[in-house]
Amino acid sequence: MFVPYLLDGWIVATLVALASGFAGFFVVLRRESFAAHALPMAAFPGAAAAVLFGVAQIYGLVAAALLGVGLLLWLKRGQRNDAATALALVALLALGALFLSLSGRYADAVYALLFGQVFAVGPGDIAPAVALGVLVPLAVLAGFRPLLLSALAPELASVRGANCGWVDALFLLLLALAAALALPVTGALLVFSLMTGPAGAACVLLRSPKAALALSVGLALALIWSALALSYATGWPAGFFTGALAAVLYLAARMWRRARRARPSPGWA
Amino acid sequence: MFEGFWTSQVVWNALLIGGAAAVLSGCIGVFTVLRGQSFAGHALADVSSAGGALSLLLGINPMLGFFGLGLLGALGLSGRRQGDGDLAAGILLGAGLGLTALLLHFAISLRNSTGAAAVVMFGSLFSAPPGAGALALGSALAGVVLLGVIHRPLLLSSLDAGLAAVRGVNIRLVAGVFLVLLALAVTLSAMAVGAILSTALLIGPAAAALRLTRRPGLACALAAGLGVFCAWGGVALAYASYGFTPGRVWPVSFFIVALVFCTYAAASLRRA
Amino acid sequence: MSMALEVSGLTVRLGGREVLRDVGFALAPGAFCGLIGANGSGKTTLLRTILGFETAAAGRVTRDGAVGYVPQKLELAPDMPVRARDLVALGLDGQRFGFSFPSARRRRVVAEMLEAVDLLGFADQRVGELSGGQLQRVLIAHALVSKPKLLLLDEPLANLDLRAAAEIVALLKRVAGQGVSVLISAHDMNPLLGAMHQLVYLANGRAASGRTEQVVRTEVLSELYGYHIDVIRVHGRILVVAGDGHVHAHDHEHVATIP
C-alpha cells in the first residue's frame, strides 16, 4: 500500500485533505454550500481542456476554477437567478464532455474526472499540490478572524472596518484553489463531500471555532486516508468511500449531538 | 453531411427518445420552476445516476434503473420538509454519487463496458437500446396525461398551499404524484443527455417559456416545443459533426445542452 | 464639550426615493437617545448612514471616536461553532488579518465584558443557542469591548418579551451612565421612557428631536403622529398610548394623570 509508485498518491491526497479541511470549515460556517458545489463543476471543463491540449491538469483546473469565481461574483452582484445559474453549470459540464470526447480519451477520462482517480497522480503533480496544499491553509489561518466575523454578520465586520466584498472574494478564491487541487483525487462530483462532511461534523461536535477548524482538518485527513486504504484493500473506487464515509461522519456527529442534548447537561446553567 | 440521416434506425431511436424526453420534461419543468423545486430535480438526477449504473451492470434497460432509483429518491424527498439544510442534503447526495462511482466501477470492470461512466453521466442517444424509443414515447405520453389529470390541484397548491388545503385538495397526494412525474421526467432526460446534464432539459426550456408567458398551459406547450427543437437540433448537429473533426462524433448531449442554453439566453434577452 | 455625534441637514436617497430629508440632531457624551418611528420610517437608513454604509446626498455626520453597532436581526444557525466569548473577542480585532494567539489579557477583557452584561455563565454557550435577550446582550458586549464612545442599536427590543426588554434597557442605561452615548431605534417608545434623555422622532423622512420631557407631551406627540396620543402617568411612570382619535378637551394638558 505504501510502495514507492503509490507514495505520490498518498502525499497529494494528504495535501488535498489539508486544503479541503481548512476551506470546508468556512464553507459550512458561511453556508456557501452552493459555491462548494458549483466551483468543482466550473473546474471540470478546465481539467478536460488540459487533457485535450496535453497540459498538466492542475493549470487547467486552477484557471477554470478562477473563471468560476469570477462567474459566481458576477452572479452575486445581480439578483441570483436559480435557473440561469443551474443552466450555466450544466453548460460548463457539457463543455467538459465535449473537450474529453475530442481528446479521444472520453471513456476513462470521464470516470476519472467525475469520480476521482487518486493513484494516477504522477511525480510532476507533487510540486503544484504542495504549493496549493500549503497556501490554502495558511491563507485561511491568516484570514481567520475576518472570515469568521463576516460569516456571523457582514455588517458587524463592516463596522469594525473589514471590507466584506474583499473577504468574500478571498474566501471564494481559496475555495476555488482547494477545489482545483481536490478534483483529480476525489472527482468533480465528490469534492463537496470531502469539504463539507468532515467540516460539518466538526461544527456539530465542537463549540470553539479554532477547535472545530482543527477537528475539521483532522477528520478530512482521516477520511481521505481511510478512503484510500479501503480502496486499496478492496479494489473499489476511492470516490465511493469518500462519499459514503463523509455522510457517515456527518450523520454520526448529528446523532451524537442529539443524544447528548436529550440529557440535561450541567454546562448549561 | 446528412446522408442516411432519415433512414438510420439509430437516428430514429435517438429522435424518439430525445423528443419524448423534451416533451415530458418541458411540461413537468414548468411546474418544477413554478413550485421552486429545481433543487429536487437536480437531486433526483444525481440519485438516479446510481440506477443508470446499476442497469448497465445488470444488463437491463437503463430506463428501469434510472426510474427505479429516481422513485427511491422521490420517496426520500417527500419525507423531507422543504429547505431544511442544504448541507445535509448535499452530503447525502454525495453518498449517492459515491454509490454511482462504485456501480460504474463494477460495470466497467465486470462487464467490460469502458464507456459506462460517460453513457450514464453524459448520455449517449446514439447508443440507446433499440426498443428504448417506443418505451420512452409511451411513458412520456402517460406522464403528460397524468399531469393533465392533476394539473388544476397541482397549480393551486403550487401557488398557495394553504388555499389549496382549504379548497379540499389533498396536498400530500398531489405533491407525491408530482414527485413521481418528476422522477419520470428526470429518467427520460437522463436517457437523452445523461444524469448530470438532465437539469438542462428539465429546467432550461421551462424557464425560457416562463420568460415568454405566464400562462401555465401555454408555457407547458412552449417549453415542450422549445425542448423538442433543442433535442432534435442536437441530434442533427451531432450527426453532422462527423464532418467537423474527421472520424470523431461530438457528443449529442453537448449540442442539446448548448442549444438549451442559447434558447434560455435568447428568451432572457427578450424581456430585458 | 464636544458632541459624541452630530447630524445636520442629512438627506439620503435610496433607489431614487428620498428616505431622509434634512435630518439634524446631536448627542452629548453619555446621552441616551431613542430613535422612534414606524417600520419603514427610515430608522435603519439613518443608523446605516451614521455608520457610513450609505452615502448622504446632502448634510453631514460628525462622530467623535469609535462606534459600536448592534444590528437588527442576526440569524445564526444553532450548529455554528462560535461561543459567546468568541463573538465578544471578535469585537476586539475581528477585522484584522494575520495570526492570533490566545492571551491571558484578551481572555480577561472578554470575561469582564461578559460580566458587565451579566452573561459570564453563558460564555461557553454557542451563540446560535442563546435566547433573543441573551444574544442582544452578547452583541452589546461585542460592540462595547473595543470601548467606543457611541453605541448604535437597531431595534434591539423588537422580538423580546417584556422582562428581557426591560433588562436590556437597564443595561443600556448603565452603559450611558459610564459616558457612552447610546442611540437606540424602536417603533415603540414605552420601554425606553424611563431611561432616555432625548428622542429623535422620524416620520415621512423628517425628524423632530428634543429632550424627552419636551417631546413626550400629548400635543406634541399627537401632532407628530397625526393622531390623538395620550401621555399618561401611572405609578410614577409615563406611558404613551393611542387615544380613540377624537380631539379631547384636555389636549392642552401636558400629561394626563391617573391617580
Query: What is d(CA C219, CA C221) in angstroms, rounded to the nearest whole number?
Result: 6
Extents of the domains making up chain C: 1-65+149-213, 80-144, 216-259
pLDDT at residue B78 tops 90:
no
CB spacing of C71 vs A146 below 8 angstroms: no
Between these two residues, B128 and C11, which has the higher pLDDT value? C11
Fill in the amino acid letter for C22.
D
B106-110 average pLDDT score: 89
3-state secondary structure of C62: strand
CA distance C218 to A81: 51
Quick check: A95 and B95 CB within 8 A?
no
Catalogue the long-range contacts made by A255-263 (C-beta closer than 8 Å, 24 or more residues apart). Answer: A256/A204, A256/A205, A257/A204, A257/A205
CATH homologous superfamily, domain B9-271: ABC transporter involved in vitamin B12 uptake, BtuC (1.10.3470.10)
Query: Please, what are the domains in chain A?
Result: 4-268 (1.10.3470.10)
Which of C67, C81, C99 lies nearest to residue A159, judging by beta carbons?
C67
Cβ contact, residue pair B118, A110, below 8 Å:
yes
Report A:181-240 residues touching C (Cβ under 8 A): 202-204, 206-209, 211-212
**Mean pLDDT across chain B:** 88
- Residue C258: the pLDDT is 47
Mutual orientation of helices B132-159 and B216-240 as an angle, nearest 10°? 150
User: pLDDT by residue for chain C (259 residues), tens digit each?
Assistant: 688 899 999 999 988 888 999 999 999 999 999 999 888 888 999 999 999 889 999 999 998 888 999 998 788 888 899 999 999 999 998 889 988 888 999 999 999 999 999 999 999 999 999 998 999 999 999 999 999 999 999 999 988 888 999 999 999 999 999 999 999 999 888 889 888 999 999 888 888 888 888 888 888 888 887 788 888 888 878 888 887 655 554 444 444 444 4
Percent of chain B with pLDDT over 90: 52
Start-to-end CA distance of chain B, whole Å, equals 38
**Mean of pLDDT values over B105-109:** 90
Band (pLDDT 50/70/90 cuts) for residue B84 is very low
Instruction: List per-block mean pLDDT (blocks of 10 residues) for chain A, which spans 269 residues.
Output: 75 94 95 89 93 88 94 75 83 92 84 83 81 96 95 91 91 96 92 96 95 97 95 91 96 91 54
Q: Look at residue A188 in the predicted model and tell me its pLDDT.
A: 92
pLDDT at B194 over 90: yes
Q: How far is C133 from chain A (nearest CA, A)?
A: 16
Q: What is the pLDDT of residue B31?
A: 93
pLDDT in tens, C55-87: 999 999 998 888 999 998 788 888 899 999 999
Q: How confident is the model at residue B158 (pLDDT cuts 50, 70, 90)?
A: confident
pLDDT digits (tens, 9 = 90+) for B244-254: 777 677 899 99
C206 forms beta bridges with C203
Domain extent listing, chain B? 9-271
CA C132-C79-A267 angle, to 5 degrees, is 70
**CATH level 2 (architecture), domain C1-65+149-213:** 3-Layer(aba) Sandwich (3.40)
Nearest residue of C to residue A145 by CA position? Answer: C94
